[in-house]
A and B are shown apart, each in its own frame.
Chain A
């Protein structure tokens, strides 16, 4: 079949691509669009490093066809921080990103984009989670470096900040 022209709305911006229908969203993001913030590993929905948000829901981009993503709002890690203005070097980090930095939740960092997006999707729906709920929300994101503890702490802290008050733990 000939390539299909698609427009992917990524982090609010339209990106045009010409793709074979069997290409995954992960591959198109990384190879065609140079957005390597979304990572590649098992290609089997087992590890979660490829997690992106599609219409606010966390999905594994490795099993999501690019042609199916047409017409949907895709959020990748590159879309979380606000862009810099004027001469400022960088914009503001999302509270989740800030919390991950502050709580020592980042080690090698390869699982982190997927982890942050899974957390964001959950917090957007459940602003005051318990620790158990945060762990459950992140169960599809493997981390080999941290043992998850500081990641969980960071998500709870970010939830607090985003909800404007203390979150029960």
Chain B
């Protein structure tokens, strides 16, 4: 794996482990300041209603309460990643149960809670839009009457309750149906699920006397929170400082503003630092979960299993505010195409408003839902045609030089190797090794999101290296990976590197821990900084060693020349004495990926950069009487380009599959009449140690052209294929095809009895 690299590619322990295992690492949820108040948020009790009266007078006079804020205390702005439709507090209309209406800060949490109970809100219910069907019905009530007036990304196709329609059109599907010998049409549904990070969203805000606010928060993207918060506070970003002490998991749910604005507004009004932290209930009612979907997929295929056309529609129930819906609907169309050669495509993703919580981004947004449909249908097709599912895929997958759905040229395509190795490892083609036991495959592709990253790298006179990055470590060890890239470039050890991160005041811009981009982009920014440092080091060393710069190399913490060598430490010391110090700025943004603009409409994500390819294979048994699923083996083969740190890449695969299995078998946020029924961890069922099997990871390397040493993004993909792989294995095991997530025991038993013609109970 390491192909001659010394540090990059090694399974070295992550640099932040000691603090984490000793409990000395401080997370935002741990952060506290002297004299701090505790803030709590008052939330709407109605899914859709006019807020006709809000009276906070009694709350304000509860002993211990020091501030109450409502819409009147914030700038009259709306924010949002794609459509600026979300206010800080509802003022005239509430659009989901849990929407913030006011906030209070008090000396104790108990007093804050008593204040919430003393707030009087009167609602006049409006007809609620409870689900996708209701939202899309002709004459449906509008979740946003004023949708036209919102500022939005220009490319979006918005209309009423649809806050985006993204589309990919290639060729002509009508021709494709004609060429097909068989056409398959299936409908799939998936549930809303939560990222399930174990650390609640938290923020501590404190104002100083110059009108500047500092917020310690566990955001994944401090620069976005900074910008949004500045708007809300009617100030400029340079007066808003976001510091990230530590993040206990994010998975996309901590990308956008969470509680920072409540903390900042309460701190401004009270004149004291204020801490706000979500409860489990708030997380399951008012966070940024993964959208539930309905997917209609129609695929044409010749009798020998060649795909001729695919028409797909995926509807995202994105809740009361657009959130990440419009972008997610775009990405979905790329996943619906699948990594397959299909000459005719008509793929649409719709982001739809309903009166539920605002949905956001969750690890591979749109991936598991779309892939569930595509890969389930591939097996349906295979079985109907009497073709082995592995064979059907091999006949259609993309290869080096093929086009993606929007016309981008694919390179470093490790898909066939992944598919063959995963299938081989699970013991394919023995698909049904025993009664009630079956194996399933699923494949997919994914992107490495762009966006820019900057770093400062400083070599210190003691020989240590400081990496200063605006990126945030959310647990993936991406910053360890980036540091490994830096160590490799400078000829030092990982242990020589200290990372400073996540402070909008003192660290350069970073586009955030999203889209599997951090190790990739920060790593490349480090290489740029290292190149500049090398230039400066060689300039100094050339003088010091009395040789030419082009005879020098970096090796073993030295600059080595034909006649001698000098330590980096000494050069840094010299630079500090006479030249202001040995420091360089490195930046990186991934070059654009060319695609055919005529193929897309309303599309916020028309190409997958440095794409990764992956295959999952699972071997499981189903207890036909209880519907219980037991997974015997789970194999992942993932094309990672270059494994920067195999241990932590395995960790991403193991954790991503575990999360994916939760979405597949047991997790769902259940709504009835606009209210969440299971807003607690007793009934929102995440997998425990006894629910997750051992996962075998096969790291495949087809190095890309852009990433450090050819690396591609690795964090999100493992979350994509579990639903389809498991659904396919269950179908193989007991013959019943489940097209809804989660695949609960009850669904399996009902499916089996339906298949037997008993009609279920």
Contacts and interface: CB of A to CB of B under 8 A. Distances in A.
Q: Do chains A and B touch in the complex (CB under 8 A)?
A: yes
Interface string B198-220: 11100000000000000000000
Contacts of B18: 90, 93, 101
A142 B21 contact: no
Contacts of A142: 196, 198, 681, 686, 688
Given A101-B13, A110-B27, A113-B23, A147 B249 contact: no
Interface in B648-663: 648, 650-651, 654-659
A128 interface: no
Contact of B280 (A42, A97, A108): A42
Given A93-B21, A104-B650, A108-B248, A41 B657 contact: no
A97 B21 contact: yes
B681 A46 contact: yes
B248 A146 contact: no
Given A47-B681, A110-B249, A37 B658 contact: no
B37 interface: no
A121 to B, nearest CB: 15
Contact of A145 (B279, B651, B680): B651
Contact of A46 (B199, B654, B680, B689): B680
A149 B690 contact: no
Nearest to B654: A147
A69 B222 CA distance: 40
Contact of B199 (A30, A44, A77, A110): A110
Interface stretch (A2-10, A53-61, A132-140): A132-140
Contacts of A90: 18
A154 B503 CA distance: 33
Interface residues of A, number: 55
Given A100-B17, A101-B18, A142-B688, A147 B658 contact: yes
A147 B648 CA distance: 12
Contact of B17 (A39, A101, A134, A149): A101
A160 interface: no
A147 B692 contact: yes
B592 to A, nearest CB: 32
B251 interface: yes
Contact of B682 (A44, A150, A151): A44
Nearest to A153: B694
A102 B480 CA distance: 14
A159 interface: no
Interface string B6-23: 000001011011111111
B477 A147 contact: no
B626 interface: no
Contact of A97 (B22, B25, B29, B648): B22
Given A104-B11, A104-B647, A37 B23 contact: yes
A103 B647 CA distance: 8
A81 B24 CA distance: 11
B526 to A, nearest CB: 21
A44 B280 contact: yes
Contacts, number: 173
A43 B198 contact: no
Nearest to A48: B198
Contact of B23 (A41, A44, A77): A77
Interface string B651-695: 100111111000000000000000000001110001011101011
Interface string A91-109: 0010001001111101111
A36 interface: yes
A106 B249 CA distance: 11
Question: At the interface, is chain A mostly helix, strand, loop or mixed?
Answer: loop
Given A47-B681, A108-B474, A144 B251 contact: yes
A109 B20 contact: yes
Nearest to A104: B647
A131 B481 CA distance: 30
B654 A150 contact: yes
B200 A41 contact: yes
A148 B692 contact: yes
A135 to B, nearest CB: 4
B397 interface: no
Contact of B195 (A139, A140, A144): A144
Given A44-B280, A46-B682, A144-B251, A108 B475 contact: yes
Shortest Cβ-Cβ A-B pairs, 4 listed: A37-B23, A108-B475, A110-B248, A109-B20
8 contacts: A39-B199, A42-B680, A77-B22, A102-B13, A107-B249, A142-B681, A147-B654, A147-B657
Given A106-B21, A144-B196, A147-B654, 19 more contacts: A42-B681, A43-B279, A78-B22, A104-B14, A106-B17, A107-B476, A107-B651, A109-B16, A109-B21, A110-B29, A111-B198, A134-B689, A142-B686, A143-B198, A144-B251, A144-B658, A144-B659, A145-B475, A147-B692
